[in-house]
Amino acid sequence: MKKKDKVKKKSDMPEFSFKEFTPEESNIYEEAVNKYREAIAAGKTLKQAYESYSITDPNLKSLIQADFLKILIAESHFGKGQSLEEVAKVLDVSLDLIKEAQARMLQEAGITAANQFGQEFSSFEPKTND
């Protein structure tokens, strides 16, 4: 029998870190999310919602738009029980985009929970030594 080489599988998800916003960035974030919400509530597509509020900093724009999509997935899919297919159809985006954003948000939630657990229990010592 041929022995297979074990290769470490590289994660499909890139590393991430949470951005610390300046007060100005926080204001832009909140205004953008509110404008995006208004557009979606008015029946606009995700692209049209994004066009409803101009953000000059491309990195901040990308971050806010990605967060907003995750917010919509959380509210629609997890909160209201809509299928991912329904969410994609309502927003007029590909199902792949929705699935990628959902996977990313679940990864972020898992890492955040693991980090929080590590901080809370870093000094925990088991009472047994099995």
Give the C-alpha separation, 67 to 44, whole Å.
18
Work out how many domains the chain is built from and give that number: 1
Averaged confidence pLDDT in the chain:
82
Average pLDDT over residues 102-115: 80
Provide the pLDDT confidence category of residue 7 given band limits of 50, 70 and 90.
Answer: very low
Residue 128 structure tokens: 């047994």
Residue 16 structure tokens: 């991430």
Average pLDDT over residues 92-111: 88
Q: Which of 9, 6, 55 has its CA nearest to residue 32?
A: 55
User: 48 to each of 43, 45, 54, 65, how far by Cα in Å?
Assistant: 10, 5, 11, 12
11 within a domain of the structure (yes/no): no
Say whether pLDDT at 94 is over 90.
yes
Interacting residues of 83 by C-beta distance below 8 A, sequence separation 6+: 77
3 within a domain of the structure (yes/no): no
87 within a domain of the structure (yes/no): yes
1 within a domain of the structure (yes/no): no
128 within a domain of the structure (yes/no): no
72 within a domain of the structure (yes/no): yes
Q: Percent of the chain, pLDDT > 70?
A: 78
123 within a domain of the structure (yes/no): no
49 within a domain of the structure (yes/no): yes
Q: 30-39, 64-73, 111-120 — which is least confidently predicted?
A: 111-120
Average pLDDT over residues 71-98: 93
pLDDT at res. 16:
53
Question: Which residue range is the domain that position 90 belongs to?
Answer: 24-118
Q: Give the tens place of pLDDT for each residue, 12-38.
A: 444 555 678 899 999 999 999 999 999
Average pLDDT over residues 55-81: 93
